[in-house]
Structure 1
């Protein structure tokens, strides 16, 4: 990520955090608080408005009334369920007995967890409560739960505690999901507080496997996690456009269609 893009991304995240506290703020106040010009702030707000995060008003900005970070995980459990089950089964087949894996939060990663029942001597690290619950009764799995601050909508743990724990651990493979995936903008997330945690997760494993149904592609969210090439393998469903699959393979990524 270029230095300028990183600064812009960090500033967008700061604006969202400020709005979470204030709900409404004037452009002049944002300019003073963030130490950049008003034209720069207006360009930032235009970007946030384009993805439905804020509503611009005369001289200021407020949180978009229709904006949610994303539907809660309990609402998403039945979305594209057949595709997610196939993706979960295929991703689980890439895991070998005796490996240490990180398994992230999300509805698709939960399907991966459900297909690990026949694996032997696995160690699974997770920051997801639903994944931990799914695996807790499996005596063939050594389960490590990271701890951290609960993000209730995702049943996941984020923040400094998770990040510090993962800095002390190494996995053979990290299996993650992501809210938005783009060839140009890479892996992005809608929650600015979760972005740093996602970055540390990617760094804890020798190989990163991204599980994502077709709806996640060609989308961009506010917080940049990593370029698409930070991923080694993508498991998706057969409704993902073939042009997208081909472009990913040309970048050197291994792509499996479930």
Structure 2
């Protein structure tokens, strides 16, 4: 029996999307053989992914969607993507947080996953511009002190703008856990939202150490506005889907790369 046959639908769709993105497209027949499922199952998966706007169906298969640099998916749409990878990243990133420290979490679905992993870390003070992150941590068993910045909500449920910027500007935290729309050698860290770019700059200025949490699909993605060079990043936590050539390149650019779920998680 093929190992992929017992995958949950969301896991199978993540594999399909990764295949399409890696190879610039995929045929239904190839996907059925790779996953060990029927044509009908693959076509249903392609329909679901096409409705999410992350790929485009073509005759006999699918191709990736080339999104404009200003496109910003909503929180729910992003939550459906790379779920297993985000959980692995969150587990490893949370282990970098010391009990009793003051930390910041930006908005985003990966930082939301990190927040769930932090529920048992004692005596944290957490600054966040994400309502969802604040909701997760508020009232948790470890009793974290949570400071929500305020601001204008983006499609991805981050609070940004002058109110958020002013709140962050007066604070100092030991560690920033930062989610990004895109990360690349040329553009650094980027987002499609101009106001979010400025708020992220304020978060970076207030942090002693910066940990970027980003699944492998974010490498090479570029949003409308760059808000920091790669030199601003102390640690990148990503997942084992990162191509070997990209891993080698990143290791030469950043002080530390952690590949969650990879051999040794080094």
Q: TM-score per shorter chain, which class?
A: 0.7 to 0.9
CA distance in 1, matches of 2:238, 2:78: 17
CA deviation after TM superposition for structure 1 residue 154, in Å:
1.6
Structure 1 unaligned blocks of 5 or more? 1-49, 54-67
CA distance in 1, matches of 2:109, 2:149: 19
Name which of 41, 45, 52 aligns with 2:68: 52
Mapping 1:1-258, distance limit 5 Å: 52=68, 69-138=71-140, 139-151=142-154, 153-258=155-260
CA distance in 2, matches of 1:100, 1:125: 8
CA distance in 1, matches of 2:254, 2:67: 29
CA distance in 2, matches of 1:131, 1:232: 22
1:154-174 Cα deviation digits (max 9, x unpaired):
222100111111111000000
Partner of residue 14, structure 2: none
Do the aligned partners of 1:180 and 1:221 also contact (CA within 8 Å) in 2?
Answer: yes
CA deviation after TM superposition for structure 1 residue 70, in Å:
1.9
Q: Tell me, what secondary structure is at the counterpart of 2:203?
A: helix
1:34-76 Cα deviation digits (max 9, x unpaired):
xxxxxxxxxxxxxxxx9635xxxxxxxxxxxxxx622201121
Equivalent residues, number: 194
1:97-129 Cα deviation digits (max 9, x unpaired):
011000011110011000012211110000001
- State the TM-score, normalizing by the size of structure 2: 0.70
CA distance in 1, matches of 2:80, 2:203: 26
CA distance in 1, matches of 2:161, 2:217: 27
Do the aligned partners of 1:51 and 1:221 also contact (CA within 8 Å) in 2?
Answer: no
1:5-42 Cα deviation digits (max 9, x unpaired):
xxxxxxxxxxxxxxxxxxxxxxxxxxxxxxxxxxxxxx
1:137-182 Cα deviation digits (max 9, x unpaired):
125201111111222x222210011111111100000001111110
CA distance in 1, matches of 2:186, 2:96: 27
Do the aligned partners of 2:72 and 2:156 also contact (CA within 8 Å) in 1?
Answer: no
Structure 2 unaligned blocks of 5 or more? 1-65, 261-266
- State the TM-score, normalizing by the size of structure 1: 0.72
CA deviation after TM superposition for structure 1 residue 190, in Å:
0.7
